[in-house]
Structure 1
Amino acid sequence: MSTTPDVMTAFTSGLADLNLDEDGTPRSGEKAAGMKSASATIYDMAATLSGKGDLWNWGMYDADLVEEIRARVPGFGEPWTDGFSEQLYFLALRDLPIGLDDYAGREVLEVGCGMGEGLNFLSRVVPGARMTGLDLSPKAVARATATLSRGDALRFVHGDAEDLPFEDGSVDVLVNIESSHTYPDLGRFLREAARVLRPDGVLSHIDVFTRQRSATMRRAAAATEGLEWVADHDISDRIRAAVRRRMAPGSHFRTTLNRRRMNPLMRQIVAHSQILMFGGMFAGYQPPPVIKVLSKLGVVPWMSGLPMESYRHQIAVRR
């Protein structure tokens, strides 16, 4: 995997292998190591190329949620962001059996924090919590540390979701957003989550699922001792609403992209690639005519991705 095409091929084939497996067999050994290496490399590249404020996840849209956020974070939203990625993070804490005003002194861990923007946002939503972000990408962690870390209030560490570098019973809330569909052994991650959570600690798990991965999740959740699953919300409609708003002409995403120095054709290619990466197929995206022509020429993929069935927020309490 020495070149970018090699890494992309390894990553996309690994995702298909994990998310289309009818049996949900945990991957280990060389297969798991190869997937993790490709994943870390992909997110290393993202950390190097992404600008501040770029998309973090597929996002969600809920008008009532926007007003709740604005009440806690004055000035939230335009012109700096469309707010969709932040809403997903806000939901991760808002629906837990812990009030948003009760986080002072609590230990919050995000597994799969990427470049740290989401956790940085949550540190404004619930000030007083001690927040740690963990990611498999060394460059994402380095960037987050250099630009966002604030002592014990917000720090970032490099690590593996399936082998968390934290003591037993040391975390109050573990957040995992749009990340676990890349894990070779989902059950191992859930066991690690149960291990590091304190009694009555909470796991807030948000991800997109194929039909097969959803079944794998159900089996792994049922087999994980110590976690009591108290909620499973299908939030697909709100995810699709955000993706469609991002795709729309004149959206924050398109306006920001239009400011970049590139020719019009390249801008369309970049927009197409970003839309595919951040939920376009899930929301019914259809490429414009120029992209269809380029795809026939083999210049860009027309449509790609997995047949995602639902996007869910699942909550478990450590008992």
Structure 2
Amino acid sequence: MVALREWLFRIWYWYVSNVDKKGEVLFMNYGYSNPEMPVSLNAEDIPNKYSAQLYHLIGSATDLKGKDIVEVGCGRGGGLSYIVNTFSPATALGVDLNKRAAKFCSKHHNKQGLSFAQGDAQDLSFIADGSFDAIINVESSHRYPRMDLFLKEVHRVLRPGGYFLYTDFRYDHEMTELKQQLAATGMVIHKEIMITDNVVQALEADDQRKRVLVKKLAPRLIHKVALNFAGTIGSKTYNQFATHKYEYYHFVMQKN
């Protein structure tokens, strides 16, 4: 199942990388909606406000100011760029398996202290032990064939006292295994919150914008596939979240 999802996502990322020449797709997460969470957005982030709010949830979990951070699975870079603008880390590195994504990010997110590189989440050997104060991983790990290898790399790359800021979804029957894998890292779990309903609210609020974007970027032949990846209302992906067949969690963990 994971291998199939990975294959489908690779195809989709490849397609987006080839057609989105103007950089209209800067976030590739399902978003987060919470009226009680105040978020101040720059003009560039307003079209992607629900996706940005998911990163605000992550970034506000601990003090990132002046810290060295890395996002593994940075995608199109919009999320890490938002973190840099909002929470002022000293340095920020974005890593993505897709070479085109890393190249796109380097071109479109030119900020002091922000850099991007191609790399495998399950083998971050180009990063030295204890290099970062925080590791961010947003809606990416469901694609990893070996989650256990990724978590070993997380523990290795974090400095003592460093934070793993993690959010992703799984099928409901996969959540027990995921929680066992997280517990096996030996890191302290400070926060564990199911945010599935907040994600559904974001999908509903952002539905029309995504439909317009799909119509603009994707040929009619693959509209249905694109709408499903976007999680538009009525799609299989949306229904999986709405019925909690997919469960979406947010974790804040700390290395001893």
Equivalent residue runs for 1:205-220 within 5 Å: 205-220=166-181
CA distance in 2, matches of 1:109, 1:273: 31
CA distance in 2, matches of 1:262, 1:112: 23
CA distance in 1, matches of 2:44, 2:84: 14
Structure 1 residue 274 displacement after superposition: 3.2
**Corresponding pairs, count:** 249
CA distance in 2, matches of 1:154, 1:262: 30
Matched, 1:53 2:24: yes
Matched, 1:314 2:251: yes
The C-alpha deviation readout for 1:75-99, integer Å capped at 9, x for no partner, is 4754xx0411111111111123x2x
Structure 1 residue 261 displacement after superposition: 8.5
Matched, 1:230 2:230: no
The C-alpha deviation readout for 1:216-256, integer Å capped at 9, x for no partner, is 2112112223x111111001111000111222xxx333455
Length-normalised TM-score, structure 1:
0.70
Matched, 1:167 2:128: yes
Task: Give the aligned residue type for 1:274.
Answer: A
Matched, 1:132 2:84: no
Give the secondary-structure state (helix, strand or coil) at the position aligned to 2:36: helix
CA distance in 2, matches of 1:205, 1:245: 23
CA distance in 1, matches of 2:11, 2:213: 26
CA distance in 2, matches of 1:69, 1:210: 29
Match of 2:60 in 1: 94
Contact 2:162 2:255 in 1 (8 A): yes
Of residues 56-65 and 175-184 in structure 1, the stretch that sits farther from structure 2 once superposed is 56-65
CA distance in 2, matches of 1:38, 1:257: 17
Give the secondary-structure state (helix, strand or coil) at the position aligned to 2:159: strand
Alpha-carbon RMSD: 2.8
Give ranges in structure 2 of 5+ residues lacking alignment. none
CA distance in 2, matches of 1:76, 1:40: 26
Contact 2:2 2:143 in 1 (8 A): no
Larger Rg: 1
Task: Give the aligned residue type for 2:151.
Answer: L
The C-alpha deviation readout for 1:173-201, integer Å capped at 9, x for no partner, is 10000000111111111111011101110
Give the secondary-structure state (helix, strand or coil) at the position aligned to 1:63: coil
Structure 1 residue 273 displacement after superposition: 3.1
CA distance in 1, matches of 2:169, 2:119: 22
Residue identity (%): 24
CA distance in 1, matches of 2:178, 2:229: 22
CA distance in 1, matches of 2:36, 2:71: 25
CA distance in 1, matches of 2:231, 2:181: 25
Give the secondary-structure state (helix, strand or coil) at the position aligned to 2:150: helix
Give ranges in structure 1 of 5+ residues lacking alignment. 1-11, 17-34, 288-302
Change over 3 Å in CA distance of 1:44–1:275 after alignment to 2: closer
CA distance in 2, matches of 1:13, 1:238: 24
CA distance in 1, matches of 2:164, 2:17: 26
Equivalent residue runs for 1:239-318 within 5 Å: 239-247=199-207, 251-256=208-213, 260=216, 266=220, 270=223, 272-280=224-232, 285-286=233-234, 303=236, 307=240, 308-318=245-255
Structure 1 residue 42 displacement after superposition: 4.3
Match of 1:155 in 2: 115
Matched, 1:123 2:60: no
Contact 2:132 2:159 in 1 (8 A): yes
Structure 1 residue 123 displacement after superposition: 1.1
Length-normalised TM-score, structure 2:
0.85
Give the secondary-structure state (helix, strand or coil) at the position aligned to 2:142: helix
Matched, 1:44 2:6: no
CA distance in 2, matches of 1:240, 1:58: 8
Contact 1:108 1:173 in 2 (8 A): yes
Change over 3 Å in CA distance of 1:14–1:305 after alignment to 2: farther
Give the secondary-structure state (helix, strand or coil) at the position aligned to 1:83: helix
Change over 3 Å in CA distance of 1:182–1:306 after alignment to 2: farther
CA distance in 2, matches of 1:127, 1:139: 26
Contact 1:40 1:138 in 2 (8 A): no
Of residues 185-194 and 142-151 in structure 1, the stretch that sits farther from structure 2 once superposed is 142-151
Give the secondary-structure state (helix, strand or coil) at the position aligned to 1:52: coil
Task: Give the aligned residue type for 2:34.
Answer: D
Structure 1 residue 120 displacement after superposition: 1.0
